[in-house]
């Protein structure tokens, strides 16, 4: 089947052109959404991808379709990372692995959502379901590590968002400095350990996975008119 | 003398108009530099301040003069905060006060330099001197808290920059969420305590006060053409 289709050289060339084009649009969309928020003009995405606005709309008729496609792969990665963390028989190691992997993803791929669940509306039932599952899994991971006495009892699930958003800010400021990123992650993980608790913490944030900004620059997004 | 000059109503009105104008330009400059880096177009600053480009150049003939004026007050604040921290007879409390006050300034005034010393070139001997003094004072603060056995021995001066840049990223993402900011500061300070050290840290960053980005958005600054 593979061999047969590759023998039809013309069609194959067209297909891989189309694929490359689509990939280029998705890469551009992630970069633009990361910089300007998901309300960034479609025209900006088209320009960055080097395709016409008409081509962009032909492939992705709505902004929503583009957003979903752009982050589909990352949603999958997040689900995999969470599943692996939960599968770890050592509750602390599972929790640590989640934080380290999420930060590694932020470091290696700028434009990766600031947190594990993107802030765009639940456009599909499928997406709402994935998010609910992610929330439940994160909660399990936290409770399990606390029950084992490894994660401090006053750790609040919103602290995960605090950690990921701070780290995202650091790698945005210093995209080349892996040492700084690793150092921050190590400090945070040590401060999350039960035996490191050396005093009470101020009250936790009201942040939840539901109201996280997608990127560190979302506050400016209203400054960009829609295309 | 005060009374006499205020009796010359016309002159006084002119003077306070000019003062207000100057203040408006400086506020706009800090906001624009914070968003786009110090290479942001002068025209953007003028537009934000609601004055003409000619007026802006009449008051600040060079970008450098504007940058220095915009941050003069903050440099002064930094110097005062550092002096107060050094004056604290308890080395840990001095160190903690520095971190907390710097983060509070980042939280209360967006556009405050990401770190204590701005990244613009040493345009004047005076500025170079202030920076050297700040570097020396920070080092003294760190060494003193380590000598007292309160700050962990593997704390590296660049970790201060890591902490301030992460916190800056967090308050940029969540400008309204003071709880998140306080929570991060508390975790970081606890992880810096000698008794919290529960394992080795990865090698420190090569960051120094000399090569800090001024804002979290400096990496994008080349996207903004100069005026």
Dist. CA A159–CA A141, nearest whole Å = 13
Task: List, as ranges, residues 57-116 from B with C-beta within 8 Å of A.
Answer: 114
More confident residue, A1 or A94: A94
The set of residues, in sequence order, having a beta carbon less than 8 Å from that of A129 and lying 6+ positions away, is: none
Question: What is the 3-state composition of chain A as percent helix, strand, coil, each rounded to the nearest 5?
Answer: 70, 0, 30
The shortest C-alpha distance from A1 to chain B (Å) reads 46
Is the Cβ pair A201, B187 closer than 8 Å? Answer: yes
Strand partners, A193: A151
Q: SS in 3 state form for A203-222?
A: CCCCCCHHHCCCCCCHHHHH
- The pLDDT, as a whole number, for residue B212 is 57
H-helix or E-strand spanning residue B82: helix B63-87
Task: Give CA angle at A216 (A37, A182), nearest 5°.
Answer: 135
Q: How far is CA B115 from CA A81, A181, B86, B163, B210, in A?
A: 34, 16, 18, 9, 10
- The pLDDT, as a whole number, for residue A54 is 94
- The pLDDT, as a whole number, for residue A13 is 60
pLDDT digits (tens, 9 = 90+) for A177-189: 999 999 999 999 9
Structure tokens at A49: 């991808």
Nearest to A173 among B180, B206, B213 (CB): B213
| A187 inside 8 A of chain B by CB | yes
Dist. CA B180–CA A163, nearest whole Å = 9
Mutation target for A interface from B40, B104, B160, B173: give the one with most A CBs within 10 A.
B173
More confident residue, A118 or B37: B37
Dist. CA B127–CA B114, nearest whole Å = 17
SS3 call for A19: helix
Dist. CA A213–CA A118, nearest whole Å = 7
Q: B34-55: string of b/e by CB count within 10 Å (b at 16+)?
A: bbbbbebbbebbbbbbebeeee
Residue A115's pLDDT band (cuts 50, 70, 90): very low
Q: List CB contacts (< 8 A) between B203 and chain A.
A: 179, 183
The shortest C-alpha distance from B54 to chain A (Å) reads 26
H-helix or E-strand spanning residue B194: none
Dist. CA A44–CA B223, nearest whole Å = 13
pLDDT digits (tens, 9 = 90+) for B71-104: 777 777 878 889 999 999 999 999 999 999 989 8
| Structure-token match 């990665």, residue found | A77
Q: Are A114 and B166 in contact (CB under 8 A)?
A: no
């Amino acid at each position: 089947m593979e061999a047969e289709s590759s023998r039809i050289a013309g069609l194959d060339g067209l297909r891989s052109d189309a694929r490359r084009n689509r990939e280029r649009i998705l890469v551009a969309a992630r970069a633009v959404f990361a910089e300007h928020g998901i309300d960034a003009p479609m025209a900006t995405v088209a320009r960055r991808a080097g395709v016409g606005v008409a081509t962009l709309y032909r492939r992705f008729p709505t902004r929503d379709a583009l957003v979903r496609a752009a982050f589909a792969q990352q949603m999958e990665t997040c689900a995999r990372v969470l599943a692996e963390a939960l599968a770890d028989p050592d509750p602390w190691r599972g929790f640590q692995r989640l934080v380290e992997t999420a930060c590694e993803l932020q470091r290696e791929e700028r434009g990766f959502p600031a947190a594990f669940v993107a802030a765009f509306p639940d456009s599909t039932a499928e997406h709402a379901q994935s998010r609910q599952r992610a929330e439940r899994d994160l909660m399990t991971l936290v409770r399990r590590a606390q029950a084992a006495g490894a994660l401090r009892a006053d750790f609040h699930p919103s602290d995960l968002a605090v950690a990921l958003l701070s780290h995202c800010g650091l790698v945005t400021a210093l995209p080349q400095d892996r040492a700084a990123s690793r150092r921050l992650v190590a400090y945070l993980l040590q401060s999350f350990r039960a035996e490191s608790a050396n005093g009470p913490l101020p009250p936790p944030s009201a942040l939840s996975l539901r109201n996280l900004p997608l990127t560190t620059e979302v506050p400016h997004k209203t400054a960009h008119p829609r295309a």
